[in-house]
Amino acid sequence: MNLQGLKILVTGGSRGIGAGVVQQLAQSGATVAFTYSSNKESAEKILETLNGDHSIVQMNMEDEKSIETGVAQVLEKFGTLDGLVNNAGITNDQLILRMGVDDFDRVYQVNLRGAFYCTKLCLRPMLKARKGSLIHISSVVGHTGNPGQANYTAMKAGLEGFSRSIALELSSRNIRSNCVAPGFIESDMTHALTDDQKKLLLERIPLGRIGTAQDVANCVEFLLSDKSNYITGQTLHVNGGMYLN
């Protein structure tokens, strides 16, 4: 797919799915700015693998000031913005009876509040240009629920409602908003699962394999490209068939 000339911001591009997205977009000709929160070294390693004028930016999604500073740096460099990929996310799993308010709040701040605020700050150049594509990485468990993830699943379901609402608000300005909902994808987030948990999950995937960052990146690339010009307010599921809706 050709993304030549597009300027894209990807949050949480230092590892996992975000890093795969960054590499795919850069390969397709986009200029990418991507964020890390604490893992600067890992972000720099990803940057070294890319050809072109790409950049890394520190951004903590829990902190409004940090999001403001990060987005301002990107806009200053790019002068415009064609796309935002809200990918940064965390888990903080506990059964509801053991889940503290802080456990809930932290996931809320990074996964939903941070995505809201980053989107809001990125809209100005898109409104001016009367075009843009917003992509939010949600999750299959935002649809199915998952024991131990009441906080995470609530935020992912919330992100999808958020995406649909702004799709309606922004479509008159030719700005599209869509979600990509991965299933079980190989990354640091899923490395935390035990072998038994992984085996059980694998049994539920009809295509018989764990997904890769590349599988997700391909969908993000499509939603940023002209090929998806008539798609907004949707969720694209990337889960090997483990959830059919």
Binding residues for ligand NAP (CB under 6 A): 12-18, 36-39, 42, 59-62, 87-90, 110, 137, 139, 182, 184-185, 187-190
Q: How far is the CB of 145 from ligand NAP (least distance, A)?
A: 14
- Rounded Cα distance between 204 and 5, Å, is 40
Q: How far is the CB of 174 from ligand NAP (least distance, A)?
A: 26
Q: Which is nearer to ligand NAP, 170 or 185 (CB)?
A: 185
8 A C-beta contact, residue 122 and residue 136: no
Q: Examine the residue annotation and report whether 108 is marked as an active-site residue of this protein.
A: no
Q: Which is nearer to ligand NAP, 15 or 79 (CB)?
A: 15
- Rounded Cα distance between 7 and 26, Å, is 10
H or E stretch covering 57: strand 55-58
- Rounded Cα distance between 189 and 210, Å, is 13
Q: How far is the CB of 197 from ligand NAP (least distance, A)?
A: 12
Q: How far is the CB of 47 from ligand NAP (least distance, A)?
A: 13
Q: Which is nearer to ligand NAP, 99 or 201 (CB)?
A: 201
- Rounded Cα distance between 119 and 112, Å, is 11
Residue where the block lists tokens 């908003």: 177
- Rounded Cα distance between 26 and 94, Å, is 37
Q: Which is nearer to ligand NAP, 27 or 212 (CB)?
A: 212
Q: Which is nearer to ligand NAP, 32 or 61 (CB)?
A: 61
Query: For the chain, what's the residue count?
Result: 245
* From 117, 152, 230, 243, active-site residue: 152
Biggest alpha carbon distance in the chain? 51
Helix/strand/coil percent split, the chain, to 5: 50, 15, 35
Q: How far is the CB of 20 from ligand NAP (least distance, A)?
A: 8
8 A C-beta contact, residue 11 and residue 59: yes
Catalytically active residues are 152
